[in-house]
Amino acid sequence: QVQLVESGGGLVQPGGSLRLSCAASGSIFRVNAMGWYRQAPGKQRESVASITRSSNTNYADSVKGRFTISRDNAKNTVYLQMNNLKPEDTAVYYCNARVMTPSDLFGADYWGQGTQVTVSS
């Protein structure tokens, strides 16, 4: 099976920075698109940023210019550098990846367990 493990969340003051990481492991043939989502209390989960295997990126309007998504294909890892954080960025952040396995070459979506990001003074 495939596991996604996130790290890097925490408490930060407004204007501060955090870097999230998400590593995929298990029976992996190839990891295609990867991305980050977030869910704030009482709100629906929303896409924050995504990146293709060839590193084409896409961002939600609310984070453009402040967040940067990147990946290391050799490590099956995706990162989210978050700068100039605002209280409205407070949420649980989830990693998502489209993973091909030897038994499923079409691929399936996998999710991490989530990591809390709190922006508060």
Instruction: Give the mean pLDDT of 59-63.
Output: 98
Mean pLDDT of the chain: 97
Rounded Cα distance between 95 and 34, Å, is 7
Give the chain's length: 121
Q: How far is CA 30 from CA 26, 33, 110, in A?
A: 11, 10, 13
pLDDT per residue as tens digits for the range 4-34: 999 999 999 999 999 999 999 999 999 999 9
Nearest to 78 by CA among 115, 110, 35, 107: 35
Give yes or no for a contact between 94 and 32, defined as CB atoms under 8 angstroms apart. Answer: no
Q: Which two tokens stand for residue 74?
A: 């050799």
Asked if the model's pLDDT at residue 106 lies above 90, the reply is no
SS3 73: helix
Asked if the model's pLDDT at residue 90 lies above 90, the reply is yes
Rg of the Cα atoms in the chain: 14
pLDDT of residue 112: 97
Q: Which two tokens stand for residue 100?
A: 């091909």
pLDDT of residue 43: 96
Instruction: Give the mean pLDDT of 76-95.
Output: 98
Q: What percent of the chain has a predicted confidence (pLDDT) above 90?
A: 97
